[in-house]
Structure 1
Amino acid sequence: MSKMIELHDIDVPGFLAVLDKCVGNVYLMTRDGDKLNLKSKLCQLVGLTALIEGGKIAEAFVMCDNPEDESKLFRFNLYKDETDTK
């Protein structure tokens, strides 16, 4: 598994669009030690609901099984644009 990526001020619809393009598992890590697989729509609902403030994800930590998925999420976090991802 790869390193943890810290995401800040993430647009939820854009983040979900990038998640849909990921091929491996992507895990949301909470400060309480919970680990939710974001490839599951139920886990997306449960996990992201707790992190959303004002329509955006205030702060999140994710880990990816696939290095390419990690790159997609890193670029999205940096540039805030899901259209650059394949």
Structure 2
Amino acid sequence: MKVMNIENPEEFLKVIDACEGQVELVTADGDRLNLKSKLCQLISLTTIFSSSSAIPEMEIIAHEADDSKRIMDYLMRGKI
């Protein structure tokens, strides 16, 4: 799923951390980074935030249906 305009990355990562299954960030090169890994979170967000303080757009894959729902609920409501 494409995720756009995340203005509060800390809350977004709390949602990711609450997911039961694997959640991956797909890079522009097609690589997949495990967003449940704190190291991957740091690396990916440092790269994304080098140009701004909000996440403009990224593609993520949630492997569990409940996790996809959890992420979509957060994106639609803007809160955990």
Scaled by the length of structure 1, what TM-score is found? Answer: 0.82
Query: What secondary structure, in the 3-state scheme, does the structure 2 residue paired with 1:9 have?
Result: strand
Higher strand fraction (1 or 2): 1
Residue of structure 2 equivalent to 1:62: 60
Residue of structure 2 equivalent to 1:7: 3
State the AA in 2 paired with 1:29.
V
* Structure 1 runs not aligned, ≥5 long: none
Residue of structure 2 equivalent to 1:18: 15
- Identity over aligned pairs, percent: 36
Report the aligned-residue RMSD.
Answer: 1.2
* Structure 2 runs not aligned, ≥5 long: none
CA distance in 1, matches of 2:66, 2:20: 8
Asked if structure 2 preserves the Cα contact closer than 8 Å seen for 1:51 and 1:59, the reply is no
- Runs of 4+ more than 3 Å apart: none
Residue of structure 2 equivalent to 1:31: 28
